[in-house]
A and B are shown apart, each in its own frame.
Chain A
Amino acid sequence: MTDTPLPATGRHVPDRLNSRAHRVLRSWEALLLTVAIAIFIANSLASPYFLDAWNLSDATFNFTEKAMIAFAMALLIISGEIDLSVASIIALASTMMGLAAQYGAGTIELVAIGLVVGLLCGAFNAVFVTVLGLPSIVVTIGTMSLFRGVSYIILGDEAFRGYPDSFSWFGQGYVYWVFTVEMVLFALIAVIYGVVLHKTNFGRAVYAIGNNPTGALFSGIRVQRVKFILFLLTGLMSGVAAVCLTSRLGSTRPSIASGMELEVVTMVVLGGVNILGGSGSIPGVVIAAFVMGLVTFGLGLLNVPGIVMSIVIGLLLIGVIALPRLAAMALNRRKAS
């Protein structure tokens, strides 16, 4: 990042372990946390409704489902791959759950169907990327159409309703006081992924693959197997998110969660994960989830329409990558002169 590398020249794998970029990334979480606190204070000053336990609890729905996927996506992006089909997996899983509900499936069966469909979709992506060796961007752009396309074939312009009452627990239930089921799931998944990425051999392998896939292979890491598992995990997490979202909305349309892949990728990149792979952390993604949730909630309280929020999300996505690079360029220029 110190020199301006040729953009998108494929396998450009910079050595990040002792570069300045690594040190910047270390402080990224600190910077992000400051931003989160600043947004929190700004929001509580801007709207009298912000500092209310129940409002804040409602606000977490803005990010919990996306963040569940973002944790798995973070690992996938660190390993140098990407999955753009996550929102379509949600659509397909939700459609299958809706279909099963029409035939009288109970809550346990519905959850199982959601998770299994997620896993199968993940496996489908994984086979194309790891077994056939195709680029994950194209494969998941294809499956993005395919998975949602199947939902459209099944549903057309109809909607599934009539989920059993107990099913609403996942998206609408509370574990204790203002703490929702989704919040607890979010925290649990965050801890699991944090431990997996930062404390296990598997996590080290993910970093190694992202930094240098050939080097990883020669140090005895089964690169394709690790990537296969990462696609499975992303599919599974999309299944979990599908269960939560379907349960929260209580209905399924084929357009459910459309555009969510963008928000998930934004969350991961905002969390300091390098989009080219090789570096990033789970705590960063956790803070990024809160930042995005707070921004959306704050803008919502100020009656800003959803589509304008998407401008903010788009600017965030480009801005968080552009600003450090602009700063580095300015720094280099000063050094050179």
Chain B
Amino acid sequence: MSMRSIPVRELILGGAILVLLALIAGRFPDFVAPGNLANVFNDTAPLIILALGQMVVIMTRCIDLSVAANLALTGMVVAMLNVAVPWLPIPVILAIAVLLGALMGAVNGLLVWKLAIPPIVVTLGTMTIFRGIIFLISDGKWVNSHEMSPAFTGFPRAEIFGLPVLSWTAIAAILVFAVMMARTPLGRSFFAVGGNPHAAVYTGIDVGKTQFLAFVLSGALAGLTGYLWVARYAVAYVDIAGGFELEVVAACVIGGISIAGGVGSVAGAVLGAIFLGVVKNALPVVNISPFWQLAISGSAILIAVAFNARAGRAKGRIILKSAEATS
């Protein structure tokens, strides 16, 4: 039943982004120049990557509020590692970042799976614990650009076919997730667990384990983004990406991923992230103070969740009526 409604929702969101771009282009044509749009995409890449991870978590009826703290902790660890062992090759750094992030995701996942603690409580807790650990290992100090090796900071900015590696990473993540969600048993089980956990159990899916894997995925992507973030901005400190978890959740909610689980799509998450990215990058161009950003993403969450819930409820009523008619 949701097969038909999902593309419509994405079309509306895609249309909204185009209208937004057209409005900005009307007064500031430079904003929609291909070069600038590529910059906007590159700037939004971390949000896209994290939104994909958050998408599978939300789809299994959980939520991961610790992604930004995970990102910051992984970023700090690889930055300090780079300072201590500057000759460490980038692939090793990448592997460490992904594994460390996945490990933190696994902590969340295990607490949710084995102890049945509500995900919101687990990740609110680990969010502050991860941030605290950054302070403990860094002693509250910054790791600055001159301490990092050129290879370390250069990697996300290196250009391949005119696009930076950071953008390519986001594109790769989108492709991997699109295939995984549509073509693999794991991807389908995310839908099944969120759509109807009891039915999922009867089809042989371990609900807790699937939720665990969703958290591990989300954590691994947060870890990966942690390195890219720290290398791109060439600085690591306790508060980097502070409050970014809300933006990630906002991207998912705007993208039509139902917080009740089971409904969502890769395209939705990506479009949700791009919508926020366009707004964020357009604010300084159209001369609105960046302090508006927080309120705008808050309003976008509320509008999106109200809109999606209305669409969902109307469908429910029709089903009920037809069921009454047949009985």
Chain A residues near B211 (CB, 8 Å)?
7-8
Which stretch (B15-23, B33-41, B119-127, B216-224) binds chain A? B119-127
* Chain A 307-337 residues near chain B, CB threshold 8 A: 307-308, 310-311, 313-315, 317-318, 321-322, 325-326
Q: Which of A7, A10, A143, A152 contacts B291 (CB 8 A)?
A: A152
Judging by beta carbons under 8 Å apart, are B111 and A138 in contact?
A: no
Whether B192 is near chain A, meaning CB under 8 Å from some CB there, is no
Whether B26 is near chain A, meaning CB under 8 Å from some CB there, is no
CA gap between A159 and B209 in the complex, in Å:
48
Q: Which of A254, A262, A308, A317 contacts B135 (CB 8 A)?
A: A308
Chain B residues near A152 (CB, 8 Å)?
291-292, 294-295
Judging by beta carbons under 8 Å apart, are B294 and A148 in contact?
A: yes
CA gap between A105 and B118 in the complex, in Å:
44
B304's nearest neighbour on chain A, judged by CB, is: A142
Judging by beta carbons under 8 Å apart, are B125 and A145 in contact?
A: no
Which stretch (A129-137, A187-195, A239-247) binds chain B? A129-137
Whether A141 is near chain B, meaning CB under 8 Å from some CB there, is yes
Whether B5 is near chain A, meaning CB under 8 Å from some CB there, is no
Chain B residues near A315 (CB, 8 Å)?
125, 129
B309's nearest neighbour on chain A, judged by CB, is: A134
Leading 7 A-B pairs by shortest Cβ distance: A149-B295, A145-B298, A146-B298, A311-B132, A149-B294, A142-B301, A314-B128
With contacts A133-B309, A142-B298 known, is A156 near B259, CB below 8 A?
no
Whether B50 is near chain A, meaning CB under 8 Å from some CB there, is no
Judging by beta carbons under 8 Å apart, are B125 and A318 in contact?
A: yes
CA gap between A7 and B111 in the complex, in Å:
10
Give the shortest distance, in Å, between B35 (CB) and chain A (any CB): 30
Judging by beta carbons under 8 Å apart, are A269 and B121 in contact?
A: yes
Chain A residues near B249 (CB, 8 Å)?
138, 141
CA gap between A317 and B260 in the complex, in Å:
24
Judging by beta carbons under 8 Å apart, are B298 and A8 in contact?
A: no
Whether A174 is near chain B, meaning CB under 8 Å from some CB there, is no
CA gap between A311 and B111 in the complex, in Å:
17
With contacts A6-B208, A82-B120, A133-B309 known, is A314 near B129, CB below 8 A?
yes
Chain B contact residues (Cβ within 8 angstroms of A): what range?
35 or more
Max chain B C-beta neighbours (<10 A), residue from A141, A146, A269, A321: A141
With contacts A7-B117, A314-B128 known, is A139 near B302, CB below 8 A?
yes
CA gap between A254 and B299 in the complex, in Å:
18
CA gap between A27 and B277 in the complex, in Å:
51
A154's nearest neighbour on chain B, judged by CB, is: B291
* Chain B 60-78 residues near chain A, CB threshold 8 A: 61-63
* Chain B 201-228 residues near chain A, CB threshold 8 A: 201, 207-208, 211
Judging by beta carbons under 8 Å apart, are A9 and B197 in contact?
A: yes
Chain A residues near B306 (CB, 8 Å)?
128, 132, 134
Whether A147 is near chain B, meaning CB under 8 Å from some CB there, is yes
Number of interface residues of A (CB under 8 A): 53
Q: CB-defined interface of A280-321 with B at 8 Å, one 1/0 digit per residue?
A: 000000000000000000000000010110110111011001
* Chain A 1-24 residues near chain B, CB threshold 8 A: 4-10
CA gap between A321 and B125 in the complex, in Å:
11
Chain A residues near B112 (CB, 8 Å)?
7-8
Whether A259 is near chain B, meaning CB under 8 Å from some CB there, is yes
Max chain B C-beta neighbours (<10 A), residue from A139, A265, A307: A307
User: 11 A-B residue contacts at CB 8 Å?
Assistant: A7-B113, A128-B302, A134-B306, A135-B259, A138-B305, A143-B302, A145-B294, A149-B291, A149-B297, A262-B124, A307-B132
Give the shortest distance, in Å, between B74 (CB) and chain A (any CB): 17
Whether A153 is near chain B, meaning CB under 8 Å from some CB there, is yes
Judging by beta carbons under 8 Å apart, are B128 and A276 in contact?
A: no
Give the shortest distance, in Å, between A156 (CB) and chain B (any CB): 5
Judging by beta carbons under 8 Å apart, are B132 and A145 in contact?
A: no
B253's nearest neighbour on chain A, judged by CB, is: A138
With contacts A6-B208, A7-B211, A317-B121 known, is A322 near B115, CB below 8 A?
yes
B306's nearest neighbour on chain A, judged by CB, is: A132
A254's nearest neighbour on chain B, judged by CB, is: B291
Whether A144 is near chain B, meaning CB under 8 Å from some CB there, is yes
Chain A residues near B114 (CB, 8 Å)?
4
CA gap between A127 and B197 in the complex, in Å:
30
Chain B residues near A10 (CB, 8 Å)?
61, 197, 260-261
Whether B99 is near chain A, meaning CB under 8 Å from some CB there, is no
Judging by beta carbons under 8 Å apart, are A326 and B291 in contact?
A: no
Give the shortest distance, in Å, between B264 (CB) and chain A (any CB): 13
Chain B residues near A100 (CB, 8 Å)?
none
